[in-house]
Chains A and B, each alone.
Chain A
Amino acid sequence: MNLNDILSNPDLLPWLIPVGPLLAFFIIMLATNRAKMVPATSHEYGGHHPDYDGMKVPVVTLQSRILSVTVGMLGTLTAWVLSLITVSNAFGAQHFGEEVFGDRLNWLATGVGEFTMGVLVDPFTTVMLIMVPLAVTMIFIYSIGYMAHDPRQSRFFALISLFAGAMLTLVVADNLLLMFVGWEVMGLCSYLLIGFWFEKESAYKAAIKAFTTTRVADVIMLLGIAYLYASAGTLSFRDILYNEAMLEHLASTPAIILGGWGLSAAGLIGVFLIIGTIGKSAQFPLHVWLPDAMEGPTPVSAMIHAAAMVSAGVYAIIRMYPLFEAGGNPHAGEFTTPLMLMAIVGGFTALFSATIAVAQNDVKRVLAYSTISQLGFMMAALGIGAYIAAAFHLITHAFFKALLFMASGSVIHGMEHGEHHVHEHHAHDEHDEAHGHDDHHDHGHHFDPQDMMNMGGLRKTMPVTFWTFLLGGLSLSGFPLLTAGFWSKDEILADAWLGLTHGYGAPAFVFIMLCLAAFLTAFYTMRQLGLTFMGEPRTEEAAHANLGQGIVSFTMTLPLIILAFLAVVAGFAGVHPDFPLFGAIFSPEYNWFHHFVGPTLLHEPASIDFSIVPVLFSFGVALGGLGLGYWMYWRKPLEAGQPDPLVSILGTVHPVLKNKYYLDELYATLFIQPSQWFSRVVVSDFMDNGIIDGVLHLIARVFTWIGDLIKNLNVWLIDGVGDGIPELVAIFGTWFRRIQTGRIQQYMLLVVIAMIVIALIFAVSSGFLVQAAG
């Protein structure tokens, strides 16, 4: 079978989608990432670190860096092109949903069965294949400029290629096991990329935090996968989720634990899988790693927040949704345990992290908490059965959040540029060309280029960034009618409103929480925009902030423009047909997104009737939040040195929000310190030093004793015999050598005596004497 056959066969094509980035990872790591060693003080080593003085550090040569970037770009572009072909195949297919593209082969024989590995492209995968490779490609283009001054750019492209490859593997996987493989590889990549600037203590600590936090959830998710395999005998999505008999079987079997309390096997598996997602998609209470993940380079933040990592968590539960729903019907008020869990966790997280975001001053941290909040929207939507709305919000959120992160990265980059300018201006140091991001140990004063209090007035020097940031921010806020965020959020609220009008508890809870969260979202977005771009520059650095000229500036603004376009128009794919005016323009016959994604499920979710009330709520919270933000931060922009008006308004609540409800401290007291105590006292002192070392030392002592015994035997017997023989020879020699006097006449005398003796013996033995005597 040649390549052409695979390319023309839509069933086989998905196999190739993750191959490009994965191959790029191996090529860069093994071939093109060539480094030479230079002193750490060399200007070639951009992010100079004082601890490395006197050491040699590897710096990738310019040629291999350009080659690595090219390889990485080719990998991701290949994935994008193949995805587009797959998507166009999917659009052209008849009865897509019922009929899907896919292929599978046997993977691991386990004795009782066989794990298969395969690919699956159904309508939901298709929309992911529109979003993920596009966002990834934008992030790659952006990284060319953003990482241009980093000495480890090759390594960055290798890791982010692996990240993209893992995400695409996860998206096209046709079973839970292969998906979990991609899931875990992404966990590894997030660890490596969050800790990419591992010279900084905060960066490697954040990496460890992200890795261990998600690991807690992943273990539980693996339990869910194992239980699912034990119950269903297969992990294939299609065999389980598109199979009514299987779902009924799982929903009617009592779970092995809590089964007596009415929990079904499907419910327990669902809870386990949702806990995995809570870790991966950073939902309360496992959200703590995501804000710290801001320590990584900004393209990584965009990757984690939009295209890959946290989307993967929500992707997984949207993918497994029929399992969660099995045995219940959220539209009829029957909520299963997993659905309730999602509704409560999602609704709570959405509001909870939105309140934290209000009080953050770090430009990326605000976005991090808004991501957690928006993922909460999706979880809550799934919890109340709004399957399509959750998927829709996943896609639109990916676009505007990737945009927001890259725009904030541009702001940071511009601030560093301004800081560098100021630094040069003051120091007149023309040789120092080091300006690695976030690495400013060599600069005398502590300046945080991510602190919004240091910004202000950036709209004048960075107009493209400002306008794209504004569009992304409005989309995030759900600015009515024009932005993608409005349409997807509105759909979630409409679903929740429908449940509320029927008098169900969960949708009512979700509706209230999401409305409040949406209000706060609009407010903190406006606050962020106002603090960053409005008014006059509050510091000298901000006054000089810009992206410069040339390839860096170009590669960093092009993705922003493309994504800003998508952040606006993506929403028009899912307009309700009955929506006044817009429904007639964009959905003359049916809601395209609903119509296309719906057949992913066995029972296509019913389209809900249009209601004006949730739309009015959407309008109200978005415009209210935006208006409040405008009134507080745009009308009278903050002057230099002026405190945030929010501090005095919120009073004692503000420190609580700013410190994220002290959850990090709580976790440190509850989990980290006890586990450190446990590892120190129990594991280290008692088990390691006491038991293991004790046993080992005992064994060592026994063998030492046996060794001594054998050594004594050796000395006494073997050495005795061995040394005794030469000693005897020596004693005899000492005695015998006295015969050698050196006096020739004595020798002769002895010869004569010997001669006489020999003659006598001869005479006696020959019988001569006897004869003579006789």
Chain B
Amino acid sequence: MIPLWMYLLVAAALFCMGAYAVLARRNAVAILMGVELMLNAVNINLVGFWRYQQPLNMAGQAFAAFVFVIAAAEAAVGLAIIISVYRQRKSVIPDEADTLKG
């Protein structure tokens, strides 16, 4: 049987890739995709811990399901914002949307 740490390792790698994408990509769509990666890394952790630590407790699975729903909603809202920004500025580069600069 595959040991738990391997799942955790995959999840950590996935999270790091997602974080890098969020921090480094210039395209907002790509950033959004990075966010999705990070969420799914969390999902892997949740499901992994549930399977190995508390198989009788359904909370891990339930959390994962909630995260999917939240991720879908977040993607919808995020894409809507990106489209709205694009209509205004003909650009999907977040660095260029710095109106809130102090």
Q: Which residues of A contact B (CB under 8 A)?
A: 737-745, 748-749, 752
Contact = CB atoms under 8 A, between A and B. Distances in A.
Nearest to A749: B23
Interface in B68-102: 94-95, 97-102
A742 B99 contact: yes
Nearest to A752: B19
Nearest to B101: A742
A764 B98 CA distance: 37
B31 A741 contact: no
A748 B102 contact: no
A740 B95 contact: no
Given A745-B23, A748-B22, A737 B102 contact: yes
10 contacts: A739-B102, A740-B101, A740-B102, A741-B98, A743-B98, A743-B101, A745-B22, A745-B31, A745-B94, A745-B95
B94 A743 contact: yes
Contacts of A744: 94, 97
Nearest to B100: A742
Majority-rule SS of A interface residues: helix
A509 to B, nearest CB: 115
A742 B93 CA distance: 13
A214 to B, nearest CB: 89
B102 to A, nearest CB: 3
B101 A741 contact: yes
Given A738-B102, A742-B99, A742-B100, A752 B23 contact: yes
A741 B23 CA distance: 15
Nearest to B34: A748
A202 B52 CA distance: 126
B74 to A, nearest CB: 15
Nearest to A741: B101
A513 to B, nearest CB: 113
Nearest to A738: B102
Contact of B98 (A738, A739, A742, A749): A742
A740 B98 CA distance: 10
A748 B98 contact: no
Interface string B5-29: 0000000000000010011100000
Contacts of A742: 97-102
A741 B97 CA distance: 10
A739 B101 CA distance: 9
Nearest to B96: A743
Nearest to B98: A742
B28 to A, nearest CB: 9
Given A741-B101, A745-B94, A748-B22, 16 more contacts: A737-B102, A738-B102, A740-B101, A741-B98, A741-B102, A742-B99, A742-B100, A742-B101, A743-B94, A743-B98, A743-B101, A745-B24, A745-B31, A745-B95, A749-B23, A752-B23
A503 to B, nearest CB: 126
B24 to A, nearest CB: 8
A748 B23 contact: yes
A745 B95 CA distance: 8
B100 A740 contact: yes
Nearest to B22: A748
Contacts of A749: 23
A-B pairs with the 3 shortest C-beta distances? Answer: A742-B101, A742-B98, A740-B102
A738 B102 CA distance: 7
B60 to A, nearest CB: 22
A86 B24 CA distance: 125
Nearest to B99: A742
B4 to A, nearest CB: 17
Contacts of A748: 22-23
A748 B95 CA distance: 12
Contact of B95 (A737, A739, A743): A743
A755 to B, nearest CB: 10
Contacts of B95: 743, 745
A738 B100 CA distance: 12
Nearest to B25: A745
Contacts of B22: 745, 748
Contacts of A743: 94-95, 98, 101
A175 B6 CA distance: 131
